[in-house]
Amino acid sequence: MTTTAWMAGDGPAGLSWRAWLLVSLLAIAALFPGIAAIPVMDRDEGRYLQASKQMMETGDYVDIRLQDEPRYGYPAGTYWAKTASASLFGGADAPAWAYRLPSFVAGVIAVLATAWIGARVGGPVAGVVAGILVATSLVVAVESRTARSDALLLATVAVAQAGLYRLTRSTEDRPSFWGAPLLFWVAHGAGVLIKGPIITLVLALTVAALCLWRRDRVLLSRLRILPGLAVVALMVLPWLIAITVKTGPAYIQEAIGSSMMGKVAKGDRAHGAPPGYHLVALFVAFWPGALLAGAAAALAWARRRDDDVRFLICWLVPTFLVFELVATKLPHYTMPTYPALAVLGQRR
């Protein structure tokens, strides 16, 4: 047995149980230490903590409140995850780390999904290394220790893209819905409950870019769009209807009008920056994986007609460009593209 043969597995993931164990342990070692010792990171984490505590104190899991003020920037999914975790460790009086556990678990899931995609694209070693690159990147390490929503969003994007990748390699025009299509749409619905249509933007850009590049629409057929949208509606609409009945149009106006669209044309809360910000920030936010960015770009251009490389490009480039054009910029905004960059850096 060669030094790396023990990583190879016979299953659909291409990784052995030893490789999965290695990636899992390294992800835990990279993302867990300090989760209980780090003080509240910033005002945003403090607001998530307080709003989640109030949900448990009031028993109202529909209306999101920060003291007496509504907090309608994003849906309730993140708060539900935090309250579910905190309820296991003392409820509203649970320590801050209990509210952070969902972000940590999400970070590990994102690492494992990246490893799965990497192993399918470039082999077991590429999968393990890609997973480690995501686990050790600075922004993922920070968000996985923070009671915010971004690590959860990353996990749902990575899982949905794993399902989408499986569909790009399918030989069936209309595969069974009870497989990769269901995985794609369930992850999509979870992402919408966590951070609204941000995941929809990432997935739609990937699918549109692939269809345009390949000049066919077979991927749309493989996605089983109508039953998929029904799944997303079953996941999202009950809460959306409940919050609308309770508050009228206030949630929609704040979430879509102010929180999302208000960030497009001008910098929100002094977080404006010109195009190019994310490219520069990448070399800190995705460190040490950013060291491979140049090689990944060269390889992407050289092998752009390779189906696997094309999938990664369509995931990475359109989303990255959109966030560069949006006026409001923060380093973690492009985090949903990190798995694609990590895998692309391993493709040979």
Q: Could you report the per-residue pLDDT of 288-342, keeping only the tens digit for each?
A: 888 888 888 888 888 888 999 999 999 999 999 999 999 888 899 999 999 999 9
Go through 189-209 and write b for each residue having 16 or more CB atoms within 10 A of its CB, e for each that does not. Answer: bbbbbbbbebbebbbebbbeb
Residues in the chain, overall count: 348
Alpha helix stretches (DSSP H) within 144-224: 150-168, 180-195, 198-214, 218-223
Q: Could you report the per-residue pLDDT of 152-162, keeping only the tens digit for each?
A: 999 999 999 99
- Which pTM does this prediction carry? 0.94
- Which run of H or of E encompasses 122? helix 96-122
Kindly report the CA angle at 137 between 131 and 142, in degrees rounded to 5?
Answer: 120
How is 25-92 classified by DSSP, letter by letter?
HHHHHHHSTTTTTSPP-SHHHHHHHHHHHHHHHH--SSS-EETTEE--SS-SHHHHHHHHHHGGGTGG
* Helices (runs of H) and strands (runs of E) counted in the chain: 17, 2
Q: Where are the beta strands (DSSP E) in the chain?
A: 65-66, 69-70
- CA pair distance 333, 121, nearest whole angstrom: 25
- Of 50, 55, 283, the residue nearest 148 (C-alpha): 50
SS3 335: helix
| Tokens of residue 148, six digits | 């915010």
| In the predicted structure, residue 66 carries a pLDDT above the cut 80 | yes
| In the predicted structure, residue 8 carries a pLDDT above the cut 80 | no
Dihedral Cα 324, 329, 330, 331, nearest 10 deg: 20
**Least confident window among 4-13, 141-150, 247-256:** 4-13
Residue 274 has a pLDDT of 85
Our measurement of the distance from residue 167's CA atom to the centroid of its chain's CA atoms, rounded to an integer in Å, reads: 19
Residue 146 has a pLDDT of 95
| In the predicted structure, residue 270 carries a pLDDT above the cut 60 | no
Q: Could you report the per-residue pLDDT of 218-231, keeping only the tens digit for each?
A: 999 999 999 999 99
Mean pLDDT of 33-50: 91
Please, how many CA atoms are within 13 Å of residue 115, restricted to the half-sphere of its CB? Answer: 30
